[in-house]
Amino acid sequence: MVDSWVALIEMVVSIEELRMTAMNLRKEGLNSQQIADELSLSQDTISWLLAGSKGEERPSDVRIGWRTIGVRPTRISAVGTIMADVADEELGFENIDTIVGISINGISFAHEVARILDCEFTVFRTTDIGDGSGSLSNKYGQVSGKKVAIIDDVLSTGKTMVKTINAIKAAGGEVGLVIVLVNKTMRNEIEDVPLRGVIRAVSV
């Protein structure tokens, strides 16, 4: 019984620490989408943390940390190599024209995948304002008339991925595959697009 209470107290402290971190990031000017990216949590969890609503049911989530990968370009390259291999397995290199990296955490992996596949690369910028919001950058490759694969670090609720897919379709691109480092759901497709995670992590 004592062990159970200790575990509960540790969990509460951890949540309070996350709440303070989220609030501090908000004070620094980050929006909820950017905070979710920074903490590798879903936007629903971030909204709950920022609201400070202890009475509301806490969203189910899994926090993913991949700083050990992110601090070294060689490690990012290694993960990119795995993702490129998955893309080849699913579609074949010749069936991918453009790689889209979701800002901000999907960009480094997407850049490496595009380098390996020797194809075009572009970025989708996310936002937490409104449904269907976000935009494709016009400074990089284009998606119109192209066969596209999307890369991101973590899939939580899938809201950002749906926005990305819809934006690519609206721009005239054909989305053939989504690859993420960590899939926090049991889904194997999203918006009728195959979804592959290098790792799957779900609450049990």
State residue 32 phi and psi, 5-degree precision. -65, -35
The answer to whether residues 88 and 151 belong to one domain is yes
The pLDDT tens digits of the residues spanning 100-150 come to: 999 999 999 999 999 999 999 999 998 765 554 789 998 899 999 999 999
The answer to whether residues 125 and 162 belong to one domain is yes
The answer to whether residues 72 and 171 belong to one domain is yes
The pLDDT tens digits of the residues spanning 55-74 come to: 678 888 888 888 899 999 99
Note whether residue 57 is domain-resident. Answer: no
Residue range(s) defining the domain that contains residue 43? 2-51
The answer to whether residues 10 and 74 belong to one domain is no
Bridge partners, 151 (sequence order): 101, 179
Amino acid at 135: S
Q: What angle do CA 66, 67, 68 make, to 5 degrees?
A: 90
Q: Is 172 helix (H, G, I), strand (E, B) or coil?
A: coil
The answer to whether residues 151 and 87 belong to one domain is yes
Distance (Å, whole) CA 42 – CA 123: 20
pTM for the model: 0.81
Distance (Å, whole) CA 6 – CA 114: 47
Note whether residue 118 is domain-resident. Answer: yes
CATH number at residue 177: 3.40.50.2020
The pair of three-digit structure tokens given for residue 26, joined into one six-digit string: 């908000």
Distance (Å, whole) CA 84 – CA 55: 44
